[in-house]
Amino acid sequence: MPGAKSATDQKAMEVGEKEAMDEMEKKVHKYSRGQAANLGALRDKKLKGQLAAREKLYGHSAKAAAQAEKWFLPTERGYLEPEGLEKTYRFQQDSIVQEVDILSSRKAFDMILPLLGPYTIGYTTNGRYMLVGGRKGHLAMMDMLNMELIKEFQVRETVRDVAFLHNEQLFAVAQKKYAYIYDRDGKEIHCIKEHGKSLKLQFLEKHFLLASINSFGQLHYQDISTGEMVANIRTGLGRTDVMRVNPYNAVLGLGHAGGKVTMWKPTCVKPLVTMLCHHGPVTAIAFDRGGHLMATAGVDRKIKLWDLRKYEVINSYAARAESLDFSQKGLLACSNGSQVEIFRDTGSQDYKIYMKHRMVKGYQVGTVLFRPYEDILGIGHSMGLSSILVPGSGEPNFDTFVENPIETSKQRREKEVQSLLSKLQPETIMLNPNMIATVRPSRKKEKKTKKEIEDEMEDAVEAAKNTEMKKKTKGRSKASKRAKKREEEVLKAKRHLMEQYKENDGRPDKKQRVSDEVELPKALQRFAKSRQ
């Protein structure tokens, strides 16, 4: 019996090793640079050796990349997999919760708060903390990792929007008249009266800028590290509460009542881009994580996907949405009444319906927001807030140097100092951030000065004079003909430089003013104006 057991264990180990080898071969093939070159037909031994060494280097790099993926990216994202004629959008939350592990099943919940809604929500960049704001003044912060309530208080004013700042220690709230900043314990730190009656808040984490749009259509940027008001821009397009920040380049997108979407940066008083996206007011806007894909929704019952590299429509869907949001893995969530729909890219930016979730009849969904690094979608509605499971929406592997959902207080303080030291200036916000640290091409060819043209002309004349003439027979190499030929070469060298010299001279001479000192012909003297 012991011998049979050891043989079974050895066989199982061999099967496991074979599966691991097959998996590693697939990963190596993913990082390989195509099929290896056929070196047998080459006759040049030196070239053959160089190419063989290069192919060997390519193989080593592919194996190293595969091993790095195995160790540093151990978790892969997983989607709902239908069988046969099944459709993923028919799966209910109850059936999904029953199939997942215990920790994941705790993340799906419904919190019914009928008296103080509708609610809006916000997450920290690492996805650990959630901020909840009720329209009638209810504010609360929750630790979603431990499912604990950190602080809950009532401001007794209208709350329009909430937003975390650089971490969970501070958050901003757009209230009835002004925007306020509170700390983790609910203490009021600042009252920002310069922003006025703010309707929407966004925080630019790399620049430490708090951006808001108020009821008069004024866009404000304020540096929270120094308290300085960086910009106060009048958009001139009326009241709007549709605002999102592009995570790729920190450019703000605003949706307006005329169907336009404008993009702004704090160092420019005019929009960087103005796009006519809908034939009616824009109700929602969202940017993909990569920054090159934008989704817009309007009252004309259309959801459009835009390629921001060409500013063209990729796809248009007949649907209505009050809120839009992209997940870290590219899923698109949109809310319509009491229903939430999630779309998935099936290839070449062709989004198909992936999941559906219907709230209780009468609940009006106001905000949908994906939780970073988790397969969770947060929903703020008129009767409270909900959280549903969306497999494949979050990034499964996080880099602790970028975002750490399980960071300690010491790590948080260290990260805060590092982020302040590496804070970007407002001038670095632009449509194409790759232009930073590059040389700007000259827009217009600079004109040469008169002295440079004269020096260049002298050099050209000297070179033309010193050119050697070919000696020709039968009287064609006479001194007179050679001198005439040399003069033609000199004139030819000077011609284009003389044209530049005249252009550089400026405008043509103005008409000479008629004065007493200038004598006119007798026939024209009677037309001259006499000074009084």
Identify the band that residue 435 occupies on the pLDDT scale cut at 50, 70 and 90.
confident
Query: pLDDT value at position 163?
Result: 96
Can you state the angle between helices 2-31 and 45-72, rounded to 10 degrees?
A: 120
Cβ atoms of 147 and 155 within 8 Å: the answer is no
Query: pLDDT value at position 248?
Result: 93
Query: pLDDT value at position 156?
Result: 93
Q: Which two tokens stand for residue 65?
A: 């990349």
Q: Is the pLDDT of residue 531 over 60?
A: no
Q: What is the mean pLDDT of the chain?
A: 85
Q: In order of start, what are the domains of the chain with their CATH numbers?
A: 88-432 (2.130.10.10), 450-525 (no CATH)
Q: Is the pLDDT of residue 73 over 90?
A: no
CA distance linking residue 136 with residue 114, whole number of Å: 11
Identify the band that residue 488 occupies on the pLDDT scale cut at 50, 70 and 90.
confident
pLDDT in tens, 89-99: 999 999 999 98
Q: Is the pLDDT of residue 512 over 60?
A: no
Identify the band that residue 510 occupies on the pLDDT scale cut at 50, 70 and 90.
very low
pLDDT in tens, 78-127: 788 888 888 999 999 999 999 888 888 999 999 999 999 899 999 999 99
Cβ atoms of 286 and 332 within 8 Å: the answer is yes
Q: Is the pLDDT of residue 45 over 90?
A: no
Query: pLDDT value at position 294?
Result: 95
Residue carrying structure tokens 């030196």:
46
Q: Is the pLDDT of residue 337 over 70?
A: yes
pLDDT in tens, 238-296: 999 999 999 999 999 999 999 999 999 999 999 999 999 999 999 999 999 988 999 99
Bridge partners of residue 161, in order along the sequence: 174
CA 60 to chain CA centroid, nearest Å: 34
Does the pTM of the predicted model rise above 0.85?
no
Query: pLDDT value at position 75?
Result: 65
Query: pLDDT value at position 189?
Result: 94
CA 492, 497, 501, 507 torsion-angle sign? positive
Q: Which of 220, 218, 223 is closest to 240 using CA atoms?
A: 218
Query: Which parts of 51-155 are beta strand (E)?
Result: 109-112, 119-123, 129-134, 138-143, 148-154
Query: pLDDT value at position 254?
Result: 96
Query: pLDDT value at position 507?
Result: 47
Query: pLDDT value at position 429?
Result: 93
DSSP state of 369: E
* Ordered DSSP codes for 33-64: -SSPP--TT---HHHHHHHHHHHHHHHHHHHH
End-to-end CA distance of the chain: 134
Q: What is the mean pLDDT of residues 154-180?
A: 95
